[in-house]
Amino acid sequence: MKSRPSSCLCLVEVREFVFNLAYSSEPHQQAIALSKLKEMALFESICRNHLRSFAGNALGMVTNITTAALLERLQWIFLRKQQIGDVRRVRPSWFRGQCGSVWRIPPPVLAAPKDFHFNAVQVFNRFAGQDSWDRWLQDGTLILPGIFDHLRQVEAEIHGEFDMYAFHMGEQPTLPTMGWMRNMYHSGVQQLVYQDPRLWALTAAARLDKHWRLIAYPYNAKNAVAGQKTGFLHLDLDLKRHRDDGLGSNMV
């Protein structure tokens, strides 16, 4: 019989503080946030979810690590909270984007291209099927079966590449894998997908700004097996920055 997970035992003040915390790239504001949280409770008494929320939102830290490692890093940073700028330079791998703010600043606004225009409706109807544009506008999502069927020609090579990365991936017993290949970012099949012209065309057509000069950033692959827990809830959008600066408004 499986035991039911216990509910969060964090103090109400801690939960409200973490939930209402707004990200600031200013080191002194981050130092204040660290001090306030420390006054409320010891870091080790805070549950993993709220600890990750605080580290990610207040400091821009990488939080997909074990709880023990996250606690150790937070304690180390707390002792040096007045030199957070130096901490980022000394421990860049602890922070997202190597500096903790590179993905949070509003992206530059590119001038509208003068020499190239395209019809988004025609792009959708050509690559996603007739009436797909209307379905996209109505539902905001599309399932396109078979769009990558051409990769079946190299299916054996793809399986071999996944096996190679799986062989070299270090195990993290206390961190749920959830099917993620945490060492697989630049594989051959991933690059084939990034460079697929249909994916690029549909992405550009789906964007509100219709920018077609896009950059694909690498992300770890997934290799889930039957019976493995893979579900999670995550909103990859800073709602306050979206409201104030429009950051993420063109995200597909």
Per-residue DSSP letter, 159: H
Q: Which of 57-71, 87-101, 194-208 has the highest mean pLDDT?
A: 194-208
The burial of 163, by beta-carbon neighbours within 10 Å (0-12 exposed, 13-18 middle, 19 or more buried), is given as: exposed
Helix 12-19 / helix 48-59 crossing angle, nearest 10 deg: 40
Q: For 34-69, how does the pLDDT look when each residue is reduced to its tens digit (9 = 90+)?
A: 888 888 888 888 888 888 988 888 888 888 899 999
Q: Is the pLDDT of residue 169 over 70?
A: yes
Query: Where residue 3 falls among pLDDT bands split at 50, 70, 90?
Result: very low
Structure tokens at 200: 């690029």
pLDDT for the residue 241: 84
pLDDT of residue 99: 43
**10 Å Cβ neighbour count for 252?**
10
Instruction: Indicate the pTM of the whole model.
Output: 0.57
Per-residue pLDDT band for 23 (boundaries 50, 70, 90) equals low
Cα 218 from Cα 213, distance rounded (Å): 17
